[in-house]
Amino acid sequence: MARTWTKEEHSYLKQLVDNSEKKTWRAFAKEMSQTFKQPYNVEQVRSYWRTNVRGTNTLTTPDYSETVEILPNGSVKSDKLIQLSLEQAKDQQYILEAHGFDHTEWEVVSAKSSQWNHSNKEHGTSLMYSSKVTVKPKKDSNELTKEDIISKLSGEVKSVVIPVNYVGENNLVIGLADLHFGITQLSDTLVKLDDIKSIIQNGYKQIVIEQLGDLFHSSQMKTSQTLKGTILDDVDMVKAIEDAKTFFDVIITEALRYSKKVSVEHASGNHSDFEYMFLIYLEAKYPDVKVNYHNDYRTAYMLDNVGIMLTHGDTAKNKLPQLFATEYKMIWSLSETMEIHKGHYHSVEKEMDGVIIRQFGTPKPNDAYEVRNGWTNNRKVIQLIEYDSFRPKIIYEV
């Protein structure tokens, strides 16, 4: 009993014969075998063409499952079968409109087409394309992209060099976790900034400013949301960036006056990835500050004989000491005291496997989401820790 051919096989054979000049049935059989990964002999192909294909003017369009997918970042993927000429296949506007997108509101991110041939009595043979396209909304002329932000933060920054007034023998760590500028306003931090300045004026050998993630509340400039796409209360991100600049400028300026060495360490959070660009701004403005900018979940550094690993605190919660020992072997082996600094949950200090784990507080006011879930009982504090060369000596809370 003869096997029933699929629509795809029918279409492909007609395409081969219609577009051939001097090809033989043996060549057609070989191409069918290569395309559909099964054997076709000469007589099988020739017999099917004579019985089912020859003399037909309309090619059956192959079955095609069209799909549309909305991605978390707001872009859209569309996959459909459309009819195109060769020139139209190169025309982004035509491709957009063929997929049902207004070219004045959307732009192509990527496009890929696979060719089919389609014949009919009226128009003869024309090209059909299995067209896959990813599009995104065109940028509002008033909306800042991340590239705009980098330019805004670092492009016109005048570097600042500040003379040192006094240095001491100990080191100071300033733990800045979950500041969430956008929800947090600069006015919420003014009293704390005065207290931080007073502590810095004690004078230190080295001051490390730890930025432990979620410096900003939103990962978007216009629509407030986290990195995973969770929708947040709307915040003014332009003001948030300006508030963060002022906040850090106050701390760094004072630190440079009262310490021989100032550095900024960083761990990525779960709300925003603007921090990477913000750190580039700090490096541009303060050439005397060592800024460790990256986009990693964890990092570690030595503070004399104290080894400190940083993480935001939302991931790998139960194996952080093991990760410290595994990922930062040299620091681990050289450390007299080992600590892990994190935020996110804002509980209290504890010890695990010989490592001190500090969960720093946040001055951030409670947002609507936290109030709804009853997460309102954490202390609104910023912690600073003074170390000698081997261990912590004083913990300040402001």
* Banded model confidence at residue 117, pLDDT cuts 50, 70, 90: low
User: How many angstroms separate the Cα of 387 from the Cα of each of 71, 252, 260, 263, 306?
Assistant: 47, 19, 15, 15, 8
Q: Which of 130-139, 295-304, 350-359, 384-393 has the highest mean pLDDT?
A: 384-393
Query: Which pLDDT does position 302 carry in this prediction?
Result: 97
* Banded model confidence at residue 334, pLDDT cuts 50, 70, 90: very high
Quick: pLDDT tens for 47-93.
887 777 765 544 444 556 778 888 766 788 888 877 666 667 778 88
Look over the chain and give the mean of its residue pLDDT values, rounded to a whole number: 81
367 vs 136, higher pLDDT: 136
Of 363, 157, 137, 189, whose CA–CA distance to 277 is shortest?
157
pLDDT value at 243 more than 70: yes
114 vs 144, higher pLDDT: 114
